[in-house]
Amino acid sequence: MMKRKNSAKERIVFQGELGAFSHAAVQQLLGADVEVVPMLRFEDLFRSLKSGKVDGALVPIENTLAGSVHENYDHLLHYELPIAGEISVRIVHNLMAPPGVPFSKVRRVYSHPVALNQCLRFFEANPKIERIPFYDTAGSVKTIMQDLPPDAGAIASRVAAEIYGARILRRSIEDDRQNFTRFFLLRTPDYLKRHPLRKDAAKQWKTSLVFTTRNIPGALFRSLSAFALRDVNLLKIESRPLRGKPWEYLFYLDLIGRLDDPNIRNALNHLRELADLLQILGCYPKGA
């Protein structure tokens, strides 16, 4: 970890442009009093945190429509940066335009294709508005504010409207309101030594881990017995086949409990007897 003055704001890295949904997630979890550092790709987040250039990283781990972000699970395994928090953010798409451009004048709407595709009902109801794909949601707001004639809108987060000074014309135009992304806040082990998480930070804590078994069925069933026999609540279990190794699987597992709870410790010791690999990804306050 590089040394900086204590008075300096924490630097938190996220993937995307300023105003991206990841940026909104940083604000929701840590408030506005942090310095956010946008980066291009997921692995950059892990690298810059590992090297001590930033104090934390916020990475998306699963989405209610699109599933688990396996790439980030892979980085979690590789970089061994502990999870220190979590937050679920509802993905709300807003139509916005530069101030002074009324809805009736909007002829073209820029956004990331995934966002455009999540607002199909809006475009069906407004067939005169053309959809134009753009590199990302927040970047499309930046562009309509700077470079385009006043008939262009963008679809993006509320935070993007604030950052670039756009005015929201239609709120929450997404087809599916059950669109949530869950993020992990990562720290370095060193940071957590200096700033340990307070036990009273939350009523419930979660522990996330990854383990492998050589073969299902017996193996998974026995692995889960380590938890079932001790009444440990599981919140997530997901298998992921290891490519090129038929019948070998990686499992993602979230449970309710803290690592310093003897019951959890016993369960994990039991699992360790049964699993080929067991890696604890972190123990953190259960988020909203």
Binding of a second copy at residue 131 (CB under 8 A)? yes
Asked if 173 contacts 122 with a C-beta cutoff of 8 angstroms, the reply is yes
What are residue 205's DSSP bridge partners?
A: 285
What residues contact residue 193 under an 8 Å CB cut-off, 6+ apart? none
Which strands, in side-by-side order, build the sheet including 130-133? 130-133, 108-111, 152-156, 94-97, 167-170
Token pair 């080929």: residue: 276
Which amino acid type is present at position 258?
Answer: R
Q: How far is the CB of 111 from a second copy (least distance, A)?
A: 10
Q: Which of 2, 160, 28, 23 is nearest to 85 (CA)?
A: 28
Question: Rule CB under 8 A: is residue 178 a binding residue for a second copy?
Answer: yes
Give catalytic status of residue 188 as yes or no. no
**Of 164, 167, 171, which is closest to residue 138 (Cα–Cα)?**
164
Phi-psi category of residue 192: left, alpha or beta, with phi > 0 → left and psi -120 to 50 → alpha: alpha
181 is catalytic: yes
Tell me whether residue 66 or residue 277 sits nearer to a second copy (CB atom).
Answer: 66
Q: Does 41 bind a second copy (CB under 8 A)?
A: yes
User: Which region among 49-57, 64-72, 94-102, 157-165 touches a second copy (by CB under 8 A)?
Assistant: 64-72
Binding flag, residue 202, a second copy (CB under 8 A):
no
Residue 31 backbone zone (phi > 0: left; psi -120 to 50: alpha; other: beta):
left
Q: Contact between 143 and a second copy (CB under 8 A)? A: no
Report DSSP state, residue 151. Answer: T
Q: Closer to a second copy at the Cβ: 56 or 152?
A: 152
CA-to-CA distance for 288 and 273, rounded, in angstroms?
33
How many residues of this chain interact with a second copy, rule: CB under 8 A? 48
Q: Is 248 exposed, middle or buried, given 0-12, 13-18 or 19+ CB atoms closer than 10 A?
A: middle
- Nearer of residues 263 and 269 to a second copy, judged by Cβ: 263
Q: Write down the least CB distance from residue 190 to a second copy, Å.
A: 29
Query: Could you tell me which residues come within 8 angstroms of residue 113 by beta carbon, excluding any fewer than 6 positions away?
Result: 133
> Considering beta carbons, is residue 55 or 136 the nearer one to a second copy?
136
Write the binding mask 234 to 253 for a second copy: x where contact by CB under 8 A, - elsewhere.
xxxxxx-x-x---x------
Contact set for a second copy, span 204-233 (CB under 8 A): 215-218, 220-222, 224-225, 227-228, 231-233
Place of tokens 């916005």: 96
In the list 133, 162, 199, 272, the residue contacting a second copy (rule: CB under 8 A) is 133
Q: Which residue in the list 14, 134, 183, 251 is annotated as catalytic?
A: 183
Interface residue with a second copy, options 35, 71, 273, 276 (CB under 8 A): 71
Nearer to a second copy, 80 or 238 (CB): 238
Single out the catalytic residue among 181, 188, 212, 213.
Answer: 181
Choice from 4, 35, 40, 99 touching a second copy (CB under 8 A): 40
Residues at the interface with a second copy (CB under 8 A): 40-41, 62-71, 112-114, 117, 120, 131, 133-136, 176, 178, 180, 215-218, 220-222, 224-225, 227-228, 231-239, 241, 243, 247
Annotated catalytic residues are 181, 183
